[in-house]
């Protein structure tokens, strides 16, 4: 259940950014998570209210965008889609590939409520 510790880190990050902008609330939190990040989106959603209670982000909507797994082959240069436990080149079958998407664990964007000027 490291999703709870990740949520706690997320809330700290979000409330710090909200404070920097003088926001009175956080409306929406956008995350981008790859299947190879080792974090389960449903568990994260479940843990979120526990971590958010009593913070500026308490009523925020958590939007999780899943990133596709893509690799580029260092043998033939082809770029292809891959599976979480099969990261081989779809063109030539080589295992000498480099992951170019699919392991991200990012706070992508926020929507904040700002006080009326």
Partner 1 sequence: MCETCGCNITPGNEHLVRAGGQHATTADGRAAVSVLQSLLSENDRAAMHNREHFDRHDVLAINVMSSPGAGKTSLLEQTIEALQGQVRIAVIEGDLETENDAERIRAKGVPAVQITTGSACHLDAHMVHDALHRLDLDEIDVLFIENVGNLVCPASFDLGQHRNVTLLSVPEGDDKPAKYPVMFRVADLVLCTKSDLLSVLPEFSVTRAETYLRNLASTVPFECVSARGDGAIQAWLNWVCDELAAQRSRLELGRTTRPSGSTDTTARFRADEDGVHHHHHHHHHDSDHKV
Binding to partner 1 by residue 31, rule CB under 8 A?
Answer: yes
Rule CB under 8 A: is residue 51 a binding residue for partner 1?
no
The answer to whether residue 24 forms part of the interface with partner 1 (CB under 8 A) is no
* SS3 readout for the chain: CHHHHHHHHHHHHHHHHHHHCCCCEEEEEEEEECHHHCCCHHHHHHHHHHHHCCCCCCCCEEEEEECCCEEEECCCCCEEECECCECCCCCCCCCCEEEEECCCEEEEEEEEECCCC
Out of 48, 51, 57, 103, the residue judged to bind partner 1 by CB under 8 A = 103
Q: Which residues define the annotated binding site?
A: 2, 73, 76, 89, 92
> Judged by CB under 8 A, which of 50, 76, 91, 106 binds partner 1?
106
Can you give the binding site for partner 1, defined by CB under 8 A?
1-2, 5-6, 9-10, 12-13, 17, 20-21, 23, 27-28, 31-32, 34, 36-39, 71, 84-88, 95-101, 103-114
């Amino acid at each position: 259940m490291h999703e709870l510790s990740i949520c706690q880190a997320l809330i700290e990050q979000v409330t710090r950014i909200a404070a920097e902008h003088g926001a009175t609330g956080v409306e929406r939190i956008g995350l981008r998570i790859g299947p190879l990040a080792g974090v389960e989106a449903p568990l994260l959603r479940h843990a979120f209210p526990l971590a958010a209670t009593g913070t500026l982000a308490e009523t925020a909507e958590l939007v999780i965008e899943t990133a596709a797994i893509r690799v580029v082959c260092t043998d033939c240069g082809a770029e292809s889609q891959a599976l979480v436990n099969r990261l081989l080149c779809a063109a030539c079958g080589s295992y000498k590939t480099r992951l170019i998407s699919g392991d991200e664990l990012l706070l992508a964007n926020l929507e904040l409520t700002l006080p009326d000027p």
